[in-house]
Structures are given as structure tokens and as C-alpha cells.
Amino acid sequence: MRPEPRSELRDLPRAIHGGDAPPGVLDFSTGVSPLPPPRAILDAVRTADVTRYPHPTARPLCEAIAAQQRLDPDCVVAGAGSVELIWALARAFGGPGRRVAFVAPAFGEYAQAARASGAEVMAGDVTVECDLLFAARPGNPLGDVPVLDRARASLVVVDEAYQPLSPLAPVAPSESRAVLRSLTKVFALPGLRLGYLLASPTVAAAVRASLPPWNVSQPAIAAGLAALAEPVEPVRAAVDRLRARLVARLAVIGVTPRAAFASFVVVDVGDARSFTASMLAAGIRVRDCTSFGLPSLVRLGVRGDEDQERLVAAWPSRSPR
């Protein structure tokens, strides 16, 4: 007998993401902070004891996050990036016979995780009736802010991956609302993979049960503990200044962004695929928003001044401005 995977996994394509620039290509396709990681976090990673197993549920980190958030430690779940927690949420609250929705346009892993769970998947807004709803705040890629009190889902997951880089105040978890946070985007550590979930004890327990033990490594736990002591405001202020300078540079060549928020600038270029290919040929990777259902838009991550100058210099003269 030949082994057969579940039907929802047999032909499940990978979601499309930024951050995959080839070596030597300047990468504008992600929203990771362009500032260098804080030295204290890097030191914590380097000195972590990798000869010992980490705590099975990263309890020391969860306790520190809980103390900072004034929550019970049982309300915190740590993950190898917020994506791991998205998939765990879909396993715990999706599945066959359930409906999982996301506020569109959206990060591709919401639908990916929901489909893999066997749930019915729907794109829409917060008013969709469902068992589980993912809503990014601010939204990706356009920076929109969902009106959460209109939600009609049994459980709303508010993804605040880019909240630290925006002026939005964080939201709090409740019985029907869980909150996803990332510790790597704001401190430029995407390769470390570290995020956490704030939720009711019941929701947190179900998510924790959907994860394997030791999912967060010793270096990641050490980095997370160090990151909690690092101020976010200076990073946000620096990113704000760089974003404003990128918008100003684009204005000089006649380009007006469709949106500019947190660590992103979104531009209408008419044909995103053609534009993306042209920029890649010039050694620059930008994020084609076709996979978001926005085929005329590209997303530009905020980078340093020298990189911004290269981007503007390579901008195709034939693109809409």
C-alpha cells in the first residue's frame, strides 16, 4: 500500500514571502528593521549554553514576558517565530468542519496554516462569522487597522508583528482575543526565529499542546530575555526618519506611495511582476504584492540612506509615477 498524505496537504503550495534575495542582491523585500541588532542581544545569543536542552516550553522567557505584560505565565506561549504560533493556532482552533478566516490582504501563512489544518478558509474582513480569525494590526502590506470590536469570530488572533514599528498602541488579550508578537523584526533578528502569544489560559494551553517540546532554542530564549530589556522607541524613531526620507526620495522622481507605515512603503507600479523582474536585474529585490491580490503594487522595506539611493537610481523610467 502506498502512503497517502491528507488531501489538504497533497498539493499545498508554499506561501510567497519576501526575504529571499539571492547573495549580492540588495533586499528591500522585508520589513525587518534596518538598524543593527542591539549588542546585548547578540552577546546573549553567543553566550547561551547550547550543551543543555532548553526548557520544553521556554518557561523562563514566558515568565519574563508575563511579568512585563502583567499577566499570568500560563497566558504566554513562546514560539520559533510568530509563524510557528500561527500554525499551532490553526491546529488548535481550525481543522475539518471549522471555518478559519483572515482580514485581506494578508500575510500568506494565515491561509496556509488554515488549509493545512483541513479547515474551510475564507478571506474577508473582521465581520466574517468563523471559528478563528487572523487580523494583522497594522495590516500587511497596506498598513490598515482592523476595527476589532466588529469581529464575529469565536477567537480573534491579532497579529502585532509590526506594531512596535508603528504608532499604534498594543492591544490586550481577552477570553476571545489572542495577540501575536514578534521579538525579531524590531531588533533585526529574523534568522533567530522568536515570537510569542498572549491569550487566555484556555487558549494558551491549547496552543501549547499543539507545539512540540523544545521548540524555542537556548540562544533564542537568551535573546528574548535580553530583548525585553531593550527600548523600542529609539528603533521606531529611526525607522520613521528613514521611511520619511525614502518617501522624499521617491517624490523627487515623481513617485507617490500608495501607503507608507511602520517599516514599509507601498507603491503602485502598474505591473508588479514586470517591475520586480526589472529591479532584480538591477540587483535589487522588492516585494511583488501579486500574492496579496494586489498585482499593481510593490512593497519596499525601509533601509538605510545609501541603499535608498541605489533603489531610486535603479527605478525604471517606464514605471508609473
Write down the mean pLDDT value for the chain. 96
Residue 13: pLDDT band with limits 50, 70, 90 = confident
* Interatomic CA distance for residues 82 and 79, integer angstroms: 6
Residue bearing cell 523562563 = 60
Contact between 244 and 236 (Cβ < 8 Å): no
Q: Which one is the CATH code of 39-227: 3.40.640.10, 3.20.20.70, 3.40.50.970, 3.40.1190.20?
A: 3.40.640.10
Res 1 pLDDT > 90: no
Range 230-254 average pLDDT: 97
Pairing of strands 264-268, 259-261: antiparallel
Res 318 pLDDT > 90: no
Residue 231's CB is within 10 A of a number of other CB atoms, namely: 8
Classify 7-30+232-314 by CATH class. alpha beta
Supply the pLDDT for residue 175. 97
What global pTM score does this model have?
A: 0.95
The segment(s) of the chain belonging to CATH 3.90.1150.10 are 7-30+232-314
Res 232 pLDDT > 60: yes
Contact between 223 and 193 (Cβ < 8 Å): no
Percent of the chain residues past pLDDT 90, beyond the cut: 92
Of 72 and 7, more confident: 72
Per-residue pLDDT tens over the stretch 251-276: 999 999 999 999 999 999 999 999 99
Range 197-205 average pLDDT: 98
Helices (H) and strands (E) in the chain, counts: 10, 13
Percent of the chain residues past pLDDT 70, beyond the cut: 99
Res 320 pLDDT > 60: no
Res 321 pLDDT > 80: no
> Can you read off the three cell numbers belonging to residue 267?
507603491
> Can you read off the three cell numbers belonging to residue 61?
522567557
Res 319 pLDDT > 80: no
> Can you read off the three cell numbers belonging to residue 124?
474577508
Res 241 pLDDT > 50: yes
The segment(s) of the chain belonging to CATH 3.40.640.10 are 39-227
* Interatomic CA distance for residues 145 and 91, integer angstroms: 26
